[in-house]
Amino acid sequence: MTNIKNVYDEVRVFFDEEQEWDSAIKREWIEGFLRQKAWQGANDEELTDTWHNLQLFVSYISYSGDTSLDELSAAEYSLAVEWIIVQMEGFKPNLKTVKHFFDVLQEFYSYLAAKKTISDIHELKKAAAFMTGGKRLRFMEDEDEQGELSLKSPLTIPKDIGRIVGEAVERLMLKFSAYFQQENFVEDFERALALYLGPLGQMPEDENDDEFWLGFWDYFLFDYHLLANDRTPLIQFHIDYSDKLAGEEQKILRELLGAKFTVFYVETIINQDWVECVNLLTDEKFRLPNPNFDYKLVKKLLFYGHVFLQQEDQDLIMINFITSVEISSNLRRRVKEEITRQKAMLELQQPGATWDDFVRRHANAVRHTIDLLATWARVNVTSYAQVERSFPQPAAGDKAVNTTVSELIVNSMPKFGYSRHDAVLVQKMWQDFSGITAVTVRKPAAWAAAAIQAFSQINNAEAELPADTLADEMAVAKSSISANRSKIIEVLKLEKYDPRYLSEEGIVSLLYDLQ
C-alpha cells in the first residue's frame, strides 16, 4: 500500500500510479504551483483542496486527449465541467462548487502564464464569467460566427454527449440491451410492446423509426412492470447487475432510478434562462431551463416524460426521452379530467393512492389518454359510470379466506401469461368474495379457475381466457368453473372494466373501447 503523508505524495501517487495517459498538464507544474502557494502561507487543508480541484481537470484533459491548454476554447471548459459533474462522485453541479473550481484553475493558469508555460488565459476567464457570472450555473455551446457564446438548452441532447459522459453511458446502454435480450425477457418484451402500442397495434411504417423506439425504451425501462415480480426493468437490472458496473456507470444508474414520470406545461417565461412549469396532475410549480422554443409555441405544448430532482439545487432536470404535443388550454383541462378519473379508479383498488402511486402503475395509460385526446379527438375515454357505481362491501372484520385457493391463483396465473400484479388483483377478488358470502370450497382449483376467468372477462372480454384451457391446465370440470364464476360475478356485481380489479392491460383496453 502506498504511504501518503501530504499533498505532494498525493500528486506523486496520482501521476505515477493512477494516471494512465500522458497529460497536457505536467506533474512538475502542479508541484511548483503548490509550493508557491505554501510559501505564500496556504495551509495543508488549502493545498489539498487546490490539488483535488486540479486533479479533476487533469483527469478530464487526459480523458479528452487535448494536448495543449492554449488551444482550449471557452466552450471546451464548459464541456470539461459537464464531464466532471457526471464522472466524479462528490462534485456538486451548483454555482458555488463550479465557481470555486474556476477560481483554482485561474490561479493555476496565472502561475503558468507568469512562467511562460502558457501564453493566454482569456478563454478560461471567458468560460468562468459566462458560466458562473449570474445567479445560476449555465453551460454553453460553441461560439457562433460572431464569436458569441450561446446557452446550451438542457431540453435537447448535447451534441458532445459522448465526450461529456465519456464512454460510461454508451457502455451502460449496451449492457441494458444485452441484459434484456436474454431469453427470459422475450415474453415481457412482447407484452410491453403490445401495451405500448395499445389495442390497435399500429407499428410505425418505418420499423427503424428512432423516435418510436426511443419512446418505447423509455416506457419499457422506467414504467413497464415485469411479469414475474412487478418490478420495473430498471430496478431489476439494478438488483442483478449493479455490482458488475464501473463506478461512473453506477452513478448514472442511480440517477436514472430517481426518475419520475411527469406531465407538465410551461406557464411563464421567467427570462432567457428559465421557465416556470406546472405539473398538470398535482398543480405543483417548478423551474426548468428555458428550452428556447418560440414563445407562442411553447405555451401551447403539453410535455410528458421522465425528470429527476437534482437534490442540491432542487431544480428538475430532464433526462431520457421527453414528448410534447400541441393542444389548447381547454383540451389540456380535459386531459387532466380524464386522468383524474383514472386515478379515482385506482383508489378503489388502493384507498388513499397518491398521484405518485398512480403514475408508477399507469404511466402507460396516461400516454394513451393524451394521444387519444390530442390525436384522435375523442370526447371521453374513461367511463364515468364505473367510478360512480355502488359496490358490495365485505363484512367488517377478518373473515376466513381459503388460502389454498389464493395459492392456486398465484401459482397458476403465470401459466396463462398473467403478471404478478394480476395475481394480486385476483387474490383481492377472491378475498372480497369470501368476505361477502359464505363459501364452501370442495375443489379449490375450480374456484381459483373461476376467479381467473372472471378477471379475464373484466379486463378483456373479447379475448377472455377460455374455460377449456383452464379446465385442462387445472384439472377441473368446465361446468364447475362456469357455475363458480357466475356466483363470483353475481355476489361482487362484476361488470366489464370493473375498476376494483382493473389491470394495466384492462385500463388500456378501456381507453380504446368505443362502446
> How many whole angstroms separate alpha carbon 362 and alpha carbon 373?
17
Q: What is the average pLDDT across 175-182?
A: 84
User: Which residues, 6 or more positions from 60, have their beta carbon under 8 angstroms from its beta carbon?
Assistant: 80, 83, 84, 87
Does the pLDDT at position 311 exceed 70? no
**pLDDT value at residue 378:** 60
Q: Does 431 or 211 have the greater pLDDT score?
A: 431
If you search the block for the grid coordinates 453511458, which residue do you land on? Answer: 169
Q: How many CB atoms lie within 10 A of CB 138?
A: 18
| pLDDT at residue 395, rounded to an integer | 79
Mean pLDDT, rounded, for 27-53: 90
Mean residue pLDDT of the chain comes to 84
- How large is the average pLDDT for residues 221-225? 95
CB 152 within 8 A of CB 141: yes
Q: Using CA atoms, how far apart are residues 174 and 30, in angstroms rounded to an integer?
A: 38
Structure-block grid coordinates of residue 466: 377460455
Q: Identify the pLDDT of residue 319.
A: 52
Report the percentage of the chain scoring pLDDT > 90. 42
DSSP conformation class of 390: P
Is the predicted pLDDT of residue 157 greater than 50, yes or no?
no
pLDDT band at 346 (very low <50, low <70, confident <90, very high): very high
Average pLDDT rounded to a whole number, residues 274-291: 86
Look at 143 and 505; give whichever has higher pLDDT: 505
Q: Sorting pLDDT into bands at 50, 70 and 90, what band is 21? A: low
CA angle 303, 290, 267 (to 5 degrees): 55
Q: Look at residue 270 and give its three-state secondary structure.
A: coil
Q: Residue 464 has what DSSP assignment?
A: P
Confidence (pLDDT) at 48: 92
Weakest-pLDDT range from 111-125, 128-142, 190-204? 128-142
Q: What is the pLDDT of residue 375?
A: 79
**CA-only gyration radius of the chain, Å:** 29
Q: Please give the full DSSP string across 311-365, using - where no structure is assigned.
A: TTTTEEEE-S--EEEE--HHHHHHHHHHHHHHHHHHHHHSTT--HHHHHHHHHHH
In the numeric block, the cell 405518485 is attached to 356
Residue 143 in this model has a pLDDT that exceeds 50: no
pLDDT beyond 90 at 304: yes
Whether the per-residue pLDDT at 156 is higher than 70: the answer is no
Q: At what angle are helices 467-474 and 478-492 packed, to 10 degrees?
A: 120
Residues in the chain: 515
pLDDT given for residue 379 in this prediction: 57
Q: Is residue 162 very low, low, confident or very high in pLDDT (cuts 50, 70, 90)?
A: very low
- The per-residue pLDDT for range 366-391, each reduced to its tens digit, is 999 999 888 776 656 676 677 778 89
**503 vs 395 pLDDT, higher one:** 503
Rounded average pLDDT over 157-183:
63
Q: Which residue, chain included where needed, has cell 374456484?
A: 447
Q: What's the rounded mean pLDDT across residues 421-431? A: 96
Could you tell me the three cell numbers for 76?
471546451
What's the rounded mean pLDDT across residues 235-244?
A: 92
Inform me whether the pLDDT recorded for 93 exceeds 90: no
CB 38 within 8 A of CB 47: yes
Distances in Å between the Cα of 316 and the Cα atoms of 168, 301, 307 are 23, 18, 6
- Please check whether residue 426 is in contact with residue 455, taking contact to mean a CB–CB distance below 8 angstroms: yes
Confidence tier at 75 by pLDDT (50, 70, 90): confident
| pTM for this predicted structure | 0.68
